[in-house]
């Protein structure tokens, strides 16, 4: 079939599914791109001819959202995550490294095999830096590993897919239960392979156990996890497990039915210590029942509300969710509570919006409740775009029923007629889990007409965001659902008064909705008891960066930074010292180590120039450059600004220019004053939250780390992070092994066997490979003389 015919067929089919209205533009384009990996011009022309979508609208949208491409890409897409956690661990060097290795100048390499893309955040912050090639994720990537990764990827590609078909299930007595985490972090770290291997092992050995897929446990730095539950035995938890270790572990706990395997298992048992000692780093075994273990430290200080039953709940098992109290709150609402009562409970609980601003949830609900309208919308905001934050993703993936229940309760309380889950497309697992969960709920009578016989109707749908951070802002989110560029508009009018399609619209963050069933079930007072004066309940944080135990944590409001970093996170690894914690991502600020006892809540963060944001918490050590961090966040907001209002569009850019200049050592003292002026101007003048908060990373670092700015102006980056201000140098401890010279991509190091090597600075691209590969640590980074 020729391509023209193919485009027509594909576009016709997509239009038949989505309709021809102009507001369907985003899902329609997503579907077309799904087909071709880009948006072929011929298909676009045909689409405009066949639908209400105009060329102006289409091109405006397709160039606004990062997801869309107008040009074909390489066969495989290498996505280098440049989220905060990855950034502080060298993501840009990795990105440059891939481009260099593949000799890519433009979009794709010469063979059209690979395209290298930066991606805002894959949400796998705990195994940073992360690179995703097609659907295979590599964690802990460094520049020196790039050739290895490409080779590994191509090897996997060249092998036929190993199809594993499980044998027919026979109902026998189960020996126990194996739980495996299938959150995105887990999958990124190889839990899918572990799962395949697990099923294979169980099948070939005829071991009868239940395999249960649970949501994110939160111990994301230790994934993949395997938890073994046996009646009458302690729970055994295996962390960082590799596929090739699965069979050993399983056979250690369960007796195979085939006698030969049983024999082998005994043999393995004998050599257990030997086996584990040889892989000490990857297969540390923890017992969660034991005190004083890293895992218990990690979990014990947390309170699970939004993440209740973590590691227990199977994400899509409705029966289990109900057994554990799920939908009890909603049932109570529709059977015995008046909407006004529910709103009062939420008001009494003190629940504030978890999306960043901390606006009291009940006030929004009340406005909506009072609004007179035939149609009212409720939207769950899952457009989590902060680099370094993955709370919403984890909640949507692991507790889809809880979020749906929260949405239903809110919808019932305010009289909503239609519900929408707005989830960013970068979270495919979250999207599919929610879709499946909605289908299950619809079947069970929780969604649709006359829910549970109460007369309450609510239809719920999913809208996939197309890659624009600014769409987390309510008015921009609404614009994108309406098929427009995601440009915020002035508030008031607030969406609660005039929102989607001009109708009253309640927009709540995912985590906010996740707290709702708990509050209704346990009572407002129980929630109010937790937290601080003005910040009630718990907050979910994504703890990442330079921390021993990163992951997803839920802690009571008011917990100090010290408790989080030291007690839960296990402090700073590699003998480094704690320098600062960045809270709130691009809207937040850097809080210095000197304020480590600051209790974290909405007000305290505001006072010190940070912000709760959506809850990214990136820990930095003494090797992190604070000017670079400010520049990093600003380059993010500058890129993500919708480009509408002057202060944000131009203000963020000119601030970034000043920071670039300072990082190049070309700054002047006067620049700091202008930078501060611009930051204040952008903050007070910008139209929406993105611009109003974008200067925070700059202002907070200027406030707490001004001397570091001055050092840069004087030509020195004290941490050696700013490439233009550092040089690589080889000490006389060099043994002349030539490895650095062999691996140097630009021949900046001449081969000199058995002699001290030298780096020619003029040729050096500062990729860091020499330092990584040197067997005697003779390569150092130092400021220019």
β partners of residue 459: 418
In the complex, what is the shortest distance from the CB of residue 649 to other proteins, in angstroms, rounded to a whole number? 6
- Nearer to other proteins by Cβ, of 358 and 651: the residue is 651
Which pairing describes strands 176-181 and 226-229: parallel, antiparallel, or unpaired?
Answer: antiparallel
Phi, psi of 229 (to 5 degrees): -110, 125
- Nearer to other proteins by Cβ, of 173 and 670: the residue is 670
- Nearer to other proteins by Cβ, of 541 and 636: the residue is 636
Q: Which of 379, 645, 716, 734 binds other proteins (CB under 8 A)?
A: 645
Picking from 420, 400, 446, the residue whose alpha carbon sits closest to that of residue 505 is 420
Q: Could you tell me which residues come within 8 angstroms of residue 315 by beta carbon, excluding any fewer than 6 positions away?
A: 182, 213, 214, 215, 397, 398, 399, 400, 433, 437
For residues 769 and 152, give the distance between their C-alpha atoms in angstroms, rounded to a whole number.
19
For residues 724 and 720, give the distance between their C-alpha atoms in angstroms, rounded to a whole number.
9
Torsional sign, CA 8, 11, 17, 22: negative
- Nearer to other proteins by Cβ, of 624 and 638: the residue is 638
- Helix/strand/coil (H/E/C) assignment for every residue in 139-172: CCCCHHHHHHHHHHHHHHHHCCCCCCCCCCCCCC
DSSP readout, 296-362? Answer: HHHHHT---STTTTTTT--TT-HHHHHHTTTTHHHHHHHHH--HHHHHHHHHHHT-B-TTTT--BHH
- Nearer to other proteins by Cβ, of 62 and 201: the residue is 62
Of the ranges 30-38, 234-242, 308-316, 648-656, which one interacts with other proteins (CB under 8 A)? 648-656
- Nearer to other proteins by Cβ, of 8 and 649: the residue is 649
Site string for other proteins, 651-690 (x = CB under 8 A): xxxx--xx--x---------x--x---x--x--xx-x---
Picking from 460, 440, 442, the residue whose alpha carbon sits closest to that of residue 451 is 442
For residues 257 and 643, give the distance between their C-alpha atoms in angstroms, rounded to a whole number.
65
Of the ranges 48-56, 153-161, 190-198, 737-745, which one interacts with other proteins (CB under 8 A)? 48-56
In the complex, what is the shortest distance from the CB of residue 658 to other proteins, in angstroms, rounded to a whole number? 5
β partners of residue 540: 554
Residue 339, both tokens: 């909407």
Q: Does 639 bind other proteins (CB under 8 A)?
A: yes
Q: Which of 165, 170, 274, 490 binds other proteins (CB under 8 A)?
A: 490
In the complex, what is the shortest distance from the CB of residue 232 to other proteins, in angstroms, rounded to a whole number? 59
Which pairing describes strands 505-509 and 377-382: parallel, antiparallel, or unpaired?
Answer: parallel
- Nearer to other proteins by Cβ, of 680 and 761: the residue is 680
In the complex, what is the shortest distance from the CB of residue 467 to other proteins, in angstroms, rounded to a whole number? 10
Of the ranges 114-122, 234-242, 249-257, 639-647, which one interacts with other proteins (CB under 8 A)? 639-647
Of the ranges 51-59, 228-236, 252-260, 475-483, which one interacts with other proteins (CB under 8 A)? 51-59
Of the ranges 400-408, 604-612, 649-657, 702-710, which one interacts with other proteins (CB under 8 A)? 649-657
In the complex, what is the shortest distance from the CB of residue 386 to other proteins, in angstroms, rounded to a whole number? 17
Alpha carbon distances (Å) from 156 to 45, 100, 547: 38, 22, 32
Interface positions, 680-739, toward other proteins (CB under 8 A) = 681, 684-685, 687
Q: Give the residue ranges of DSSP H helices in 76-145.
A: 84-88, 91-101
Q: Does 640 bind other proteins (CB under 8 A)?
A: yes
- Nearer to other proteins by Cβ, of 545 and 691: the residue is 691
Alpha carbon distances (Å) from 666 to 204, 485, 628, 714: 65, 37, 14, 9
Q: Does 19 bind other proteins (CB under 8 A)?
A: no
In the complex, what is the shortest distance from the CB of residue 194 to other proteins, in angstroms, rounded to a whole number? 39
Q: Does 634 bind other proteins (CB under 8 A)?
A: no
In the complex, what is the shortest distance from the CB of residue 48 to other proteins, in angstroms, rounded to a whole number? 9
Q: Which of 34, 41, 714, 733 binds other proteins (CB under 8 A)?
A: 41
- Nearer to other proteins by Cβ, of 6 and 657: the residue is 657
Residue 111, both tokens: 């063979």
Site string for other proteins, 443-482 (x = CB under 8 A): -------------------------x--------------
For residues 66 and 554, give the distance between their C-alpha atoms in angstroms, rounded to a whole number.
31
- Nearer to other proteins by Cβ, of 573 and 685: the residue is 685
Q: Does 59 bind other proteins (CB under 8 A)?
A: yes
Please give the size of the binding site for other proteins, defined by CB under 8 A.
Answer: 43
List b or e across 7-16, with b for residues whose CB sees 16 or more CB atoms inside 10 angstroms: bbebbeebbe
Phi, psi of 180 (to 5 degrees): -130, 130
Contact 638, 656 (CB under 8 A): yes
Q: Which residues bind other proteins (CB under 8 A)?
A: 41, 44, 54-60, 63-64, 468, 485, 489-490, 492-493, 638-647, 649-654, 657-658, 661, 671, 674, 678, 681, 684-685, 687
């Amino acid at each position: 079939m020729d391509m023209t015919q193919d485009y027509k067929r594909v576009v016709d089919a997509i239009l038949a599914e989505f309709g021809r209205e102009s507001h369907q533009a985003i899902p329609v384009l997503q579907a077309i791109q799904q087909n071709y990996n880009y948006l072929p011009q011929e298909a676009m022309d045909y689409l405009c001819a066949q639908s209400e979508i105009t060329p102006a609208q289409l091109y405006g949208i397709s160039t606004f959202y990062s997801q869309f491409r107008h040009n074909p890409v390489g066969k495989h897409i290498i996505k280098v995550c440049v989220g905060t956690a990855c950034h502080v661990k060298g993501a840009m060097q990795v990105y440059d490294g891939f481009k260099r290795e593949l000799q890519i100048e433009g979009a794709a390499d010469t063979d059209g095999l690979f395209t290298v893309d930066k991606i805002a955040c894959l949400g796998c912050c705990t195994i940073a830096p992360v690179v995703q090639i097609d659907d295979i994720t590599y964690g802990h990537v460094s520049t020196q590993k790039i050739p290895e990764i490409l080779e590994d990827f191509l090897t996997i590609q060249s092998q036929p897919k190993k199809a594993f078909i499980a044998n027919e299930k026979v109902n026998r007595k189960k020996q126990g239960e194996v739980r495996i985490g299938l959150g995105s972090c887990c999958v990124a770290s190889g839990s899918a392979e572990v799962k395949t291997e697990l099923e294979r092992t169980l099948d070939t050995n005829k071991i009868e156990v239940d395999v249960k897929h649970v949501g994110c446990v939160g111990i994301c730095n230790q994934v993949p996890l395997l938890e073994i539950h046996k009646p009458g035995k302690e729970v055994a938890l295996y962390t960082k497990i590799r596929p090739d270790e699965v069979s050993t572990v399983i056979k250690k706990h369960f007796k195979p039915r085939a006698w030969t395997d049983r024999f082998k298992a005994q043999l393995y048992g004998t050599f257990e210590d030997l086996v584990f000692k040889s892989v000490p780093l990857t297969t540390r075994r923890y017992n969660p029942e034991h005190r004083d273990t890293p895992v218990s430290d990690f979990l014990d200080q947390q309170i699970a509300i939004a993440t209740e039953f973590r590691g227990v709940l199977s994400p899509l098992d409705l029966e289990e969710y109900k057994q554990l109290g799920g939908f009890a709150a909603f049932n109570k609402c529709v059977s015995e509570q008046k909407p006004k009562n529910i709103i009062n409970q939420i008001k009494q609980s003190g629940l504030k919006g978890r999306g960043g601003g901390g606006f009291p949830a009940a006030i929004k609900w009340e406005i909506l409740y009072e609004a007179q309208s035939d149609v009212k919308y409720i939207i769950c905001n899952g457009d989590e775009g902060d680099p370094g934050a993955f709370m919403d993703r984890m909640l949507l993936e692991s507790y889809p029923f809880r979020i749906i229940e929260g949405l239903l309760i809110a919808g019932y309380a305010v009289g909503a007629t239609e519900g929408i889950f707005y989830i960013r497309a970068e979270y495919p697992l979250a999207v599919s889990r929610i879709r499946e969960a909605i289908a299950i709920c619809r079947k069970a009578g929780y969604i649709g007409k006359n829910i549970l016989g109460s007369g309450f109707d609510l239809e719920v749908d999913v809208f996939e965001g197309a890659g624009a951070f600014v769409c987390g802002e309510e008015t921009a989110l609404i614009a994108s659902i309406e098929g427009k560029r995601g440009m915020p508009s002035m508030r008031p009018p607030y969406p609660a008064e005039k929102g989607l399609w001009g109708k009253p619209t309640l927009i709540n963050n995912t985590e906010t909705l996740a707290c709702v069933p708990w509050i209704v079930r346990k009572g407002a007072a129980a929630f109010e008891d937790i937290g601080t004066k003005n910040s009630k309940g718990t907050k979910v944080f994504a703890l990442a960066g330079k921390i021993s135990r990163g992951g997803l944590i839920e802690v009571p409001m008011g917990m100090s930074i010290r408790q989080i970093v030291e007690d839960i996170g296990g402090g700073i690894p590699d003998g480094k010292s704690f320098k600062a914690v960045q809270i709130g991502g691009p809207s937040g600020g850097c809080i210095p180590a000197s304020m480590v006892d600051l209790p974290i809540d909405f007000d305290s963060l505001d006072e010190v120039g940070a912000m709760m944001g959506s809850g990214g918490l990136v820990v930095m050590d003494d090797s992190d450059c604070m000017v670079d961090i400010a520049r990093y966040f600003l380059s993010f907001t500058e890129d993500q600004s919708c480009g509408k209002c002057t202060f944000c569009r131009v203000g963020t850019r000119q601030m970034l220019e000043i920071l670039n200049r300072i990082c190049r050592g070309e700054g002047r003292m006067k620049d700091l004053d202008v930078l501060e002026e611009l930051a204040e101007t952008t903050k007070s003048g910008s139209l929406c939250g993105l611009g109003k908060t974008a200067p925070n990373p700059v202002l907070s670092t200027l406030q707490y780390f001004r001397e570091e700015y001055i050092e840069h102006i004087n030509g020195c980056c004290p941490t050696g992070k700013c490439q233009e201000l550092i040089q690589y140098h080889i000490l006389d401890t060099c043994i002349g092994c030539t490895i650095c010279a062999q691996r140097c991509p630009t021949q900046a190091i001449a081969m000199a066997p058995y002699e001290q090597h030298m780096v020619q600075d003029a040729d050096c691209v500062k990729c860091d490979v020499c330092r990584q590969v040197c067997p005697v640590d003779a390569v150092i980074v130092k400021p220019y003389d």
